[in-house]
Amino acid sequence: MTSRSLVCTVALFAALLAAALASPIKLAAQNDPSWTRPFPPFRIAGNLYYVGSEELASYLVVTPKGLILINSSLQASVPLIKKSVETLGFHFSDVKILLISHAHFDHCAGSARLIRLTGAKYFVMDGDVPVVESGGKRDFQYAAHADMRFPPAKVDRALHDGDTVRLGGAVLVAHLTAGHTKGTTTWTLNVSEGGKTLHAVIVGSPNVNPGYKLVANRNYPQIAADYSRGFDVLKGLPCDLFLGAHGSYFGMKAKYARFKAGDNTAFIDPGGYQSYIADRQQAFEQELKRQSAGGR
């Protein structure tokens, strides 16, 4: 849910923050204007477009049978996403399928509103379905945090690891990369650009939030095993276009500046992808080691 830099910053003071604040993440969100700062929509490659804010990433897959949208983000994001879709020349009402990266409010709080406006069908990984349908009340970590809740939305199709979502010739694959939530999903799709096929990977979130219990977690006993399995999955995915639920995962602003300057390969970054995953795995393993040794 948090940006990578935010996680790093907050991690330094995690114990202090946990004691001092009921909900450090939400506080950070309220203080982070990049989450709702508009960003120019653009075509990444092939039929894949960016329609998110500066930090909360939303993606549009354009097909002859309609549009697929990944991440409704905040309730306040919905008008921004709508404007981005329309600026690109598409109709918001053509969004047929809504997907998410994971069931935290910064990626799914806008879903109920977006579904009302478009009539889109909502497909969510099975582990995140109870969280989405309860508006966050069933979240393993934040159930007691009223300020982390969001409008509930009914799921039309529960997805399972490896399921495909198909529309108008587009095929998206849902990879379960759980741990951050029980249904965190990394989406992959192939796009055609300049006669080449590019593998796009939209990372769901490999981050361990402040306060997450990786050892003896009664609400999520297999959390550490899920993270480990998720890293194995992520490391095995072929990746040309490195993307993710937050712009900061993949350095979007800097890459976009290069892209605008004429470098149409700016988002092709298989090395950056592997480095990011390795860095996040190391952070997870350090935290697991610390907690296993009795650190809280």
Quickly count: other Cβ atoms within 10 Å of residue 280's Cβ.
22
Q: Least distance from C-beta 59 to Zn ion, angstroms?
A: 16
For Zn ion, which is the closer residue by CB, 41 or 136?
A: 136
If one asks whether residue 246 binds Zn ion (CB under 5 A), the answer comes out as: no
| Spatial CA neighbour of 207 closest among 246, 184, 180, 229 | 180
Of residues 157-216, which lie at the interface with Zn ion (CB under 5 A)?
Answer: none
* DSSP class per residue in 16-79: HHHHH-S-HHHHHHHT-GGGT-B---EEEETTEEE-SBSSB--EEEEETTEEEEE---STTHHH
For Zn ion, which is the closer residue by CB, 69 or 178?
A: 178
If one asks whether residue 223 binds Zn ion (CB under 5 A), the answer comes out as: no
Look up residue 229 and give its two tokens: 């399995």
Of residues 52-111, which lie at the interface with Zn ion (CB under 5 A)?
Answer: 104
For Zn ion, which is the closer residue by CB, 47 or 141?
A: 141
Q: Least distance from C-beta 181 to Zn ion, angstroms?
A: 7
3-state secondary structure of 130: helix
Q: Least distance from C-beta 1 to Zn ion, angstroms?
A: 2
Q: Least distance from C-beta 222 to Zn ion, angstroms?
A: 18
Of residues 104-133, which lie at the interface with Zn ion (CB under 5 A)?
Answer: 104
Q: Least distance from C-beta 54 to Zn ion, angstroms?
A: 17
Look up residue 132 and give its two tokens: 């989405």
| Spatial CA neighbour of 100 closest among 141, 153, 140 | 153
3-state secondary structure of 148: helix
For Zn ion, which is the closer residue by CB, 41 or 179?
A: 179
Which residue has its beta carbon closest to Zn ion? 1
The amino acid present at 99, given as its one-letter code, is L
Cα 148-112-55 angle, rounded to 5 deg: 60
Q: Least distance from C-beta 205 to Zn ion, angstroms?
A: 5
| Spatial CA neighbour of 190 closest among 46, 23, 72 | 46
For Zn ion, which is the closer residue by CB, 1 or 208?
A: 1
Q: Which residues contact 218 (CB under 8 A, 6 or more apart)?
A: none
Q: Least distance from C-beta 131 to Zn ion, angstroms?
A: 11
For Zn ion, which is the closer residue by CB, 4 or 255?
A: 4
For Zn ion, which is the closer residue by CB, 17 or 170?
A: 17
Strand-pair partners of 171: 166
Tell me the HSE value of 280 on the side-chain side, using a 13 A CA sphere: 30
Cα 38 to its chain centre, rounded Å, is 18
For Zn ion, which is the closer residue by CB, 62 or 131?
A: 131
Q: Least distance from C-beta 143 to Zn ion, angstroms?
A: 15
If one asks whether residue 1 binds Zn ion (CB under 5 A), the answer comes out as: yes
Distance CA 77, CA 114 (A): 10
**Would you tell me which residues interact with Zn ion (CB under 5 A)?**
1, 104
